[in-house]
């Protein structure tokens, strides 16, 4: 047996929830917002069963209709809008100026006020978040100037010795200045070649129609009410079947080619020599002894200065030799530092 249940709707103007479906206006005395034609109805957990004949007739009259003039929802039993009193059958104008004292004027003011509130709220959130991020970034990355004392000066110089000699290498071709020693056959790549099919049986499952079934459901009547009734839906069952599946099998067939082993004369890194020290020693390059087929290459140098102030160490900072050579232990210099650990030496005014 079917029965009529009263649903609810929520006011989009003031946020009141659970307004009874029979109400055409928000029940908040500070709001009174007209129920819009596109309102969403829902069924609460303990919906009221409608028994009064007049209310049942209203529920069964059909969906609400939305006024083309002001957008308010109206009962199917009414031919005139209860908000602006325009006829249901009158075509709405292309552009309507709100009339003093009509619902359209109230609705327009409410919508404008709501849009302004949303805009100001969004603007406040964006500005507040931006200000917070800027404050944190400034606090973390903002540079500050300190005067610190030099407590360490170090230097490192490296050179690499190369030797010109014959080396043995291999490739699929011999360089023009290479001397072939021997060749051999090697697998260069593989080709996939079809061999045969393998067959196996797989069990598959699928859902197939199996008639219909009845269940209790509620139908939204589009006017604040729902009808409890019996609905039907298709029923399915799961069946299994065996299926013969074929899978191609491929063989990896090697492709052979000629691999050449040869000798070639080239400069080869032999050893890296290093010298290091502090400001007490004059920076010098390592001077390894070289034979006739050796040479020096790849000179690299690094000069660093470290500072200290109030028990806190800063650096090291990499410098060029000319600037590094002007510093002495105990000298005081201005540094720019931040909480991220960046240290920068300030330029000294001439």
| Nearest by Cα to 275 from 152, 150, 154 | 154
> From CA 35, how far away is CA 80, in angstroms rounded?
15
Same domain, 212 and 333: no
- At residue 97 the predicted structure's pLDDT band, cuts being 50, 70 and 90, is very low
Measured distance CA(318)–CA(322) in Å, rounded = 12
Task: Say how far apart CA 278 and CA 281 lie, in whole Å.
Answer: 6
Work out the average pLDDT over 23-36: 91
Reference 164, options 17, 79, 266; nearest CA is 266
* pLDDT per position as a tens digit, 327-340: 999 988 888 887 66
> Would you say residue 132 lies in a domain?
no
Query: Are 27 and 83 in the same domain?
Result: yes
Q: Answer yes or no: do 286 and 204 share one domain.
A: no
- Beta 179-220 vs 225-278: how paired, if at all? antiparallel
List the structure tokens of 124: 């406040």
Question: If you average pLDDT over residues 257-266, what whole number do you get?
Answer: 97
Band of the pLDDT at 179, cuts 50, 70, 90?
Answer: very high
Statement: residue 123 has pLDDT above 80: no
Is there a single domain that holds both residue 81 and residue 2? yes
144 in a domain, yes or no? no
> Which of 7-16, 129-138, 251-260 is the least confident region?
129-138
| Buried b / exposed e along 71-87 (16+ C-beta atoms within 10 A) | bbbbbbeeeebebbebe
Residue 108 has pLDDT above 60, yes or no: no
Q: How far is CA 159 from CA 120, 276, 304, in A?
A: 67, 12, 18
- Which of 117-121, 136-140, 271-275, 297-301 has the least mean pLDDT? 136-140
Same domain flag for 154 and 244? no
Q: Quick one: pLDDT at residue 338?
A: 72
| pLDDT of the residue at 238 | 95
In a domain, 22, yes or no: yes
- Let me know if residue 190 belongs to a domain: yes
Task: Please report whether residue 120 resides in a domain.
Answer: no
Number of domains in the chain: 3
Q: Say if residues 138 and 144 touch (Cβ distance below 8 Å).
A: no
Residue written as token pair 């067959």: 199
Beta bridge partners of 312: 309
Q: Contact, 150 vs 307, CB < 8 A? A: yes
Q: Are residues 3 and 40 both part of a single domain?
A: yes
Same domain, 168 and 252: yes
Query: Do 59 and 177 reside in the same domain of the chain?
Result: no
Domain assignment of residue 278, yes or no: yes
Domain membership of residue 109 (yes or no) is yes
- Residue 217 shares a structural domain with residue 338: no
Distance (Å, whole) CA 227 – CA 143: 70
Give the chain's mean pLDDT. 86
Lowest-pLDDT range, 59-73, 110-124, 198-212, 254-268?
110-124
> Looking at the structure, do residues 194 and 295 belong to the same domain, yes or no?
no
What lies within 8 Å, CB to CB, of 148 at 6+ separation is: 307, 308, 309, 314, 332, 333, 335
Residues 110 and 1 in one domain: yes
Higher pLDDT, 136 or 327: 327
**Could you tell me if 314 and 328 lie in one domain?**
yes
Range with the lowest mean pLDDT among 8-22, 125-139, 328-342?
125-139
In a domain, 129, yes or no: no
User: pLDDT category, 126, cuts 50, 70, 90?
Assistant: confident
State how far the alpha carbon of 266 is from the alpha carbons of 81, 135, 194, 294, in Å: 98, 60, 46, 11
Parent domain of 327: 150-162+270-345
pLDDT on residue 115: 64
The reply to whether the predicted model has a pTM over 0.75 is no
| Neighbour-count burial of 24, counting CB atoms closer than 10 A to its CB (0-12 exposed, 13-18 middle, 19+ buried) | middle
């Amino acid at each position: 047996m079917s029965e009529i249940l009263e649903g609810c709707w929520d006011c989009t103007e003031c946020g009141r929830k659970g307004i009874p479906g029979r109400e055409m206006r928000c029940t908040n005395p500070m709001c009174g917002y007209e129920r819009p034609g596109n309102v969403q109805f829902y069924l609460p957990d303990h919906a009221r069963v409608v028994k009064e004949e007049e209310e049942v007739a209203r529920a069964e009259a059909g969906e609400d209709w939305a006024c083309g003039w002001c957008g308010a929802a109206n009962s199917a039993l009414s031919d005139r809008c209860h908000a602006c009193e325009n006829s249901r059958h009158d075509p709405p104008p292309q552009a309507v100026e709100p009339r003093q004292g009509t619902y359209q004027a109230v609705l327009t003011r409410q919508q404008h006020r709501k849009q302004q509130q949303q805009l100001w709220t969004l603007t406040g959130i964006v500005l507040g978040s931006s200000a917070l991020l800027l404050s944190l970034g400034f606090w973390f990355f903002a540079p500050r100037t300190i005067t610190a004392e030099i407590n360490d000066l170090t230097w490192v110089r490296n050179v690499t010795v190369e030797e010109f000699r014959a080396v043995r290498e291999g490739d699929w071709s011999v360089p023009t200045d290479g001397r072939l020693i021997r060749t051999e056959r090697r697998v260069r790549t593989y080709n996939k070649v079809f061999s045969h099919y393998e067959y196996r049986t797989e069990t598959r499952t699928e859902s197939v129609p199996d008639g219909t079934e009845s269940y209790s459901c509620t139908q939204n009547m589009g006017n604040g009410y729902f009808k409890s009734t019996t609905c039907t839906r298709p029923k399915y069952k799961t069946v299994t079947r065996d299926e013969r599946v074929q899978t191609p099998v491929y063989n990896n067939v090697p492709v052979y080619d000629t691999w050449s082993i040869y000798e070639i004369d080239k400069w080869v890194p032999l050893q890296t020599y290093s010298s290091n020290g502090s400001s007490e020693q004059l920076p010098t390059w390592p001077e390894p002894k070289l034979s006739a087929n050796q040479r020096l290459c790849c000179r690299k140098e690094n000069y660093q200065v470290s500072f200290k102030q109030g028990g806190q160490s800063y650096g090291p900072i990499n410098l060029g030799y000319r600037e590094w050579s002007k510093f002495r232990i105990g000298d005081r210099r201005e540094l720019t530092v931040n909480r991220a650990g960046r240290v920068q030496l300030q330029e000294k005014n001439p």
